[in-house]
Structure 1
Amino acid sequence: MNLRTTLLLGLLLALIGCSKLTLEHYNQISVGMSYDDVTRLIGPPDRCDDVMGVRSCDWRDGERSVHVNFLGGQVLLFSSSNLK
């Protein structure tokens, strides 16, 4: 493998290992924040369900998770588990 390939592979592995589900990112979520702002902050959700105008989304990475409820496209409630 040449040096350039090795560097690119290293960068790719570093990016894969960088989860956005951190306490620092979670603490930036606030009531009223838009769905788009949350996804820019912690990435696309793993799952969302829409029931009676409330969108309930989950982000997971191993044992770490974030759950956010959106009403009218804005954060209404949010919680987390095992963030460090």
Structure 2
Amino acid sequence: MLRRFALLSFFLLLAACNDRLSQENYARLKPGMTRPEVEQLLGKPTECSGAFGFSSCTWGDQQKFISIQYGGDKVLLFSGQGLR
């Protein structure tokens, strides 16, 4: 039982260290970045929507997120909340 707990703790710690929704990654975002560049940094978005050449994608949930607005395939604006 102790071994299972230790193994589970290790994987949870590893997952926390690999969290892409961080202040460090947010600081790397720049206007003009392409969608593939953003997805290389943050992974696939949780959700996207858009029309007429503009789209908005969000990574995360209501407590911790990064939201990016694209014009065509380029970052126009971005915001974040709950990042560490």
TM range (shorter): 0.7 to 0.9
Residue equivalent to 1:16? 15
8 Å Cα contact 1:57-1:69 kept in structure 2: yes
Higher helix share: 2
TM-score (norm 1): 0.78
Residue equivalent to 1:44? 44
The gaps in structure 1 that reach 5 residues or longer are 1-6
Provide, for residues 53-78 of structure 1, a one-character-per-residue CA deviation record: whole Å limited to 9, x for no partner: 11100000572100000111000000
RMSD: 2.0
The gaps in structure 2 that reach 5 residues or longer are 1-6
Give the % identical residues.
34
Provide, for residues 19-75 of structure 1, a one-character-per-residue CA deviation record: whole Å limited to 9, x for no partner: 100000000000000000000001110000022211100000572100000111000
C-alpha change, 1:80 and 1:42, in structure 2 (3 Å) is: same
Query: Partners in 2 of 1:81 and 1:35 — Cα distance?
Result: 20
Query: Partners in 1 of 2:62 and 2:12 — Cα distance?
Result: 17
TM-score (norm 2): 0.78
Corresponding pairs, count: 78
Which consecutive aligned stretches of 4+ in structure 1 deviate over 3 angstroms post-superposition? 9-17
- Does the alignment pair 1:64 with 2:83? no
